[in-house]
Amino acid sequence: MIWSKAESAPREVIEETQVARLRETANRVYAINPFYQKKFDELGILPEDIKSIEDVKKLPFTKKQDLRDHYPFGLFCVPMTEVVRVHSSSGTTGKPTVVGYNQNDMDVWGEVMARVYTMSGTDANDVVHNGYGYGLFTGGLGFHYGAEHVGATVVPASGGFTDRQLMLMRDFGATVLACTPSFALHMAEVAAKAGSDFKKDYKLKAGIFGAEPTSPGLKAEVAKAWGIQYHEVYGLSEIIGPGVSCSCEHSELLHIFEDHFLAEIIDPKTGEPVPEGERGELVITTLTKQALPIIRYRTGDITSIIKEPCKCGRTHARMESIVGRADDMLIVNGVNIYPSQVEHVIANAEGVTLNYQIIADKKGHLDKLEIQVEVSDDIMTDSVGEMERIKKEIQASLLNNLYINANVKLVEPRTIERSMGKAVRVIDKRK
Amino acid sequence: MSKRVEQLSIFLENQTGRLHEITQILADAKVSIETINLVEAGDFGILRMVTNNAANTKKILDEKGISVKITPVIVVEILDKVGCFNRVISLLQEIDIHYTYTVNSHDIGAFIIKVAETDIEKAIGILEADGVMVKDAV
């Protein structure tokens, strides 16, 4: 089932809609908000210069810092009398970023989340167990109103209290689970204590998971643990919250709701677009938001986009699950590498822990890469040959999967420096 | 009395001063080192030791955040005479010896033999049947 006709519109219609809405959004921000006015003027661009979808390139980028600099409501483009809701980030690394919605925006959010639910096969017959946190975080309420929009029964469970959540899921006959993948896995582990056939007590058929970076391995594990179809949702509060894109039953790629969000992939270093299908930083412009329209928002997330239509009948372009963060990207002898990719290789290696550090340096004119990995306590072997084998296997796997020649150095447990409890993943000595 | 002597192995990065850190900890804790053997392989090495009390030594090192693996080995004593070492090794022809190194001692020759854990009882049996002195675990 497809919720909206817009999701399967021909490419020309999608782009016509995008151009018209982009011009409208540019007009709105330029006329109302001094921040955008100044940025447009600096680049010598006017909203009427937007004639084709490619013209989006002429517009200025917006960054997270811009939202912080205008804390709390400085980038809003409607009077506060019109704002019906605000959400905010936790702001652990500085001022929080605050986002606002008017009634139009709430309707847009309800619409895109209804598409997400429909993609997962959810309708009025379903009971949605919503384990996303309710509050300032957009996850809880975003999933809540979307489920109401398709007429499903929502159980607003929020986070925590695993045992009670499991009881509610059993007793209320939840058919759809919405929460973070790590919480879904945790719940499955707790539920499995009741016995290996625990699934007979639950009616779950699908899950809509997101809000955290997820490896393919984790996705498969969640789907298997609950025996359900896995749908991945992507979103960010600066754009709308959950509901920017979601995966259908036919592929792991996520359909972007292109009539509401214009997505571009750029080279994070140069800001220039990359060819279709190549990886780069995801940049999003909102096309229908009114309280907080955003022009070319640098998400910092690395992904790729393809426009090829999908078997499900949707024509909306699809993006990969996020592969990493632009801030963490390293270029080594011309190859782009994200720590998450290295982490994936290490996670599949035996005898080592996930505590690692990537050290980039120069040797003559060439870049050289060293990856230090802490050996695990329990596998600490007495054999030099065994340690050499572990090391060579990781090196071969890095070469086969990431096309990089790296020297893997096994280091003692607990020796990789951690700052504020968090490991420093990349040290670039070339800078 | 078990003949499985507990040997401690420590994974060490090849770093100036690292060995000293370990020996200092052991000296401070009054641990008596009976044998020591350091194998190096590029950027790391493995330090192998037999001490007067393996479990206690492991505890001391664990407290300092140093991971230790305990492996059972055989300690064989021989007379300091030509051909004695050869005799022991020839008895074990059928068994895969992982490595061997000597134990320092004033009056008698002694060395460590490491075989697979599944082979250890068999090896001890062969040696003792032939009158070779296999040392008891402490």
State pLDDT tens for residues A348-405. Answer: 888 888 888 999 998 888 889 999 999 887 766 788 888 899 999 999 999 998 888 9
Please check whether residue A249 is in contact with residue A121, taking contact to mean a CB–CB distance below 8 angstroms. Answer: yes
Question: DSSP secondary structure string, A352-402?
Answer: EEEEEEEEEEEETTEEEEEEEEEEPTTT--S-HHHHHHHHHHHHHHHHHHH
Can you give the pLDDT at residue B81?
83
Query: Closest chain A residue to B12 measured between Cα atoms?
Result: A412
**How far is residue A7's CA from residue A257's CA, in Å, rounded to a whole number?**
7
Domain boundaries defined on chain B: 6-71, 72-134
* Mean pLDDT calculated for residue range A177-198: 90
Can you give the pLDDT at residue A419?
57
| Phi-psi group of B120: left, alpha or beta (phi > 0 → left; psi -120 to 50 → alpha; rest → beta) | alpha
- Between A279 and A333, the higher pLDDT residue: A279
- Between A195 and A157, the higher pLDDT residue: A157
Which chain A positions have a beta carbon within 8 Å of B44's beta carbon? 387, 409-411
Lowest-confidence region among A34-48, A78-92, A262-276, A367-381: A367-381
Our CA angle for A273, A278, A284, nearest 5°, is 50
**How far is residue A400's CA from residue B57's CA, in Å, rounded to a whole number?**
42
State pLDDT tens for residues A215-250. Answer: 787 898 899 999 999 999 999 999 999 999 999 999
**How far is residue A294's CA from residue A64's CA, in Å, rounded to a whole number?**
11
Q: What percent of chain A has pLDDT over 70?
A: 97
Contact (CB<8Å) B67/A413: yes
Q: Is the peptide bond before A72 cis (omega within 30 degrees of 0)?
A: yes
Domain boundaries defined on chain A: 98-325, 330-428
State pLDDT tens for residues B5-31. Answer: 999 999 888 888 889 999 999 999 999
What's the half-sphere exposure (Cβ side, CA atoms, 13 Å) at A335? Answer: 19
Q: Which residues contact A396 (CB under 8 A, 6 or more apart)?
A: none
- Between A189 and A63, the higher pLDDT residue: A63
* Domain A330-428: CATH superfamily, name plus number: ANL, C-terminal domain (3.30.300.30)
Q: Within an 8 Å CB–CB cutoff, is residue B115 touching chain A? A: no
Q: Within an 8 Å CB–CB cutoff, is residue A386 touching chain B? A: no
Q: In the structure, what pLDDT confidence band is assigned to residue A340 with cuts at 50, 70 and 90?
A: confident
Contact (CB<8Å) B46/A387: yes
**Amino acid letter for position A127:** V
Task: Give the pair of three-digit tokens for residue B75.
Answer: 């300690």
List the single best residue of B44, B47, B101 to mutate versus A (max A Cβ within 10 A): B44
Provide the whole-model pTM. Answer: 0.72
Q: What percent of chain A has pLDDT over 90?
A: 72
Helix-then-strand count for chain A, H and E: 10, 23
- Of the partner residues A380, A384, A412, the one whose CB lies closest to the CB of residue B69: A380
- Of the partner residues B46, B65, B71, the one whose CB lies closest to the CB of residue A384: B46
Q: What is the 3-state secondary structure (H, E, C) of A126-167?
A: CEEEECCCCCCCHHHHHHHHHHHHCCCEEECCCCCCHHHHHH
**Amino acid letter for position A339:** P
Chain A 346-365, residues with CB within 8 Å of chain B CB atoms = none
- Three-state SS at A91: coil
Lowest-confidence region among A265-269, A368-372, A425-429, B92-96: A425-429
Which chain A positions have a beta carbon within 8 Å of B46's beta carbon? 382-384, 387
Query: Closest chain A residue to B13 measured between Cα atoms?
Result: A411
A325 pLDDT above the threshold of 70: yes
- Phi and psi at residue A330, in whole multiples of 5°? -120, 140
Label residues B8-36 b or e (16+ Cβ within 10 Å = b): bbbbbeeeeeebeebeebbeeeebeebbb
Which chain B positions have a beta carbon within 8 Å of A413's beta carbon? 65, 67
* Domain A98-325: CATH superfamily, name plus number: ANL, N-terminal domain (3.40.50.12780)
Pick the CATH number of B72-134 from 3.40.718.10, 3.30.230.70, 3.30.470.10, 3.30.70.260: 3.30.70.260
Q: Which residues contact A60 (CB under 8 A, 6 or more apart)?
A: A36, A39, A40, A42, A43, A295, A296
Contact (CB<8Å) A382/B66: no
Query: Closest chain B residue to A381 measured between Cα atoms?
Result: B69
Question: DSSP secondary structure string, A254-272?
Answer: EEE-TTTEEEEEE-TTT--
Which chain A positions have a beta carbon within 8 Å of B66's beta carbon? 412
**Domain covering B6-71, topology:** VC0802-like (3.30.2130)
Q: In the structure, what pLDDT confidence band is assigned to residue A91 with cuts at 50, 70 and 90?
A: low
Q: Within an 8 Å CB–CB cutoff, is residue A409 touching chain B? A: yes
What's the half-sphere exposure (Cβ side, CA atoms, 13 Å) at B52? Answer: 7
Contact (CB<8Å) B65/A410: no
Residue whose structure tokens are 């011309």:
A334
Which chain B positions have a beta carbon within 8 Å of A374's beta carbon? none
Label residues A53-84 b or e (16+ Cβ within 10 Å = b): eeebeebbebebebbbebebeebbbbeeebbe
**How far is residue A34's CA from residue B48's CA, in Å, rounded to a whole number?**
70
Can you give the pLDDT at residue A303?
95
- How high does pLDDT run on average in chain B? 89
- Three-state SS at A308: coil
A417 pLDDT above the threshold of 80: no
Please check whether residue A40 is in contact with residue A30, taking contact to mean a CB–CB distance below 8 angstroms. Answer: yes
- Between A214 and A297, the higher pLDDT residue: A297
Q: Within an 8 Å CB–CB cutoff, is residue A410 touching chain B? A: yes
Which chain A positions have a beta carbon within 8 Å of B48's beta carbon? 382
Can you give the pLDDT at residue A141?
97
Q: Within an 8 Å CB–CB cutoff, is residue B58 touching chain A? A: no
Contact (CB<8Å) A382/B69: yes
Please check whether residue A165 is in contact with residue A184, taking contact to mean a CB–CB distance below 8 angstroms. Answer: no
Lowest-confidence region among A13-22, A100-109, B35-44: B35-44
Please check whether residue A337 is in contact with residue A279, taking contact to mean a CB–CB distance below 8 angstroms. Answer: no
Please check whether residue A30 is in contact with residue A58, taking contact to mean a CB–CB distance below 8 angstroms. Answer: no
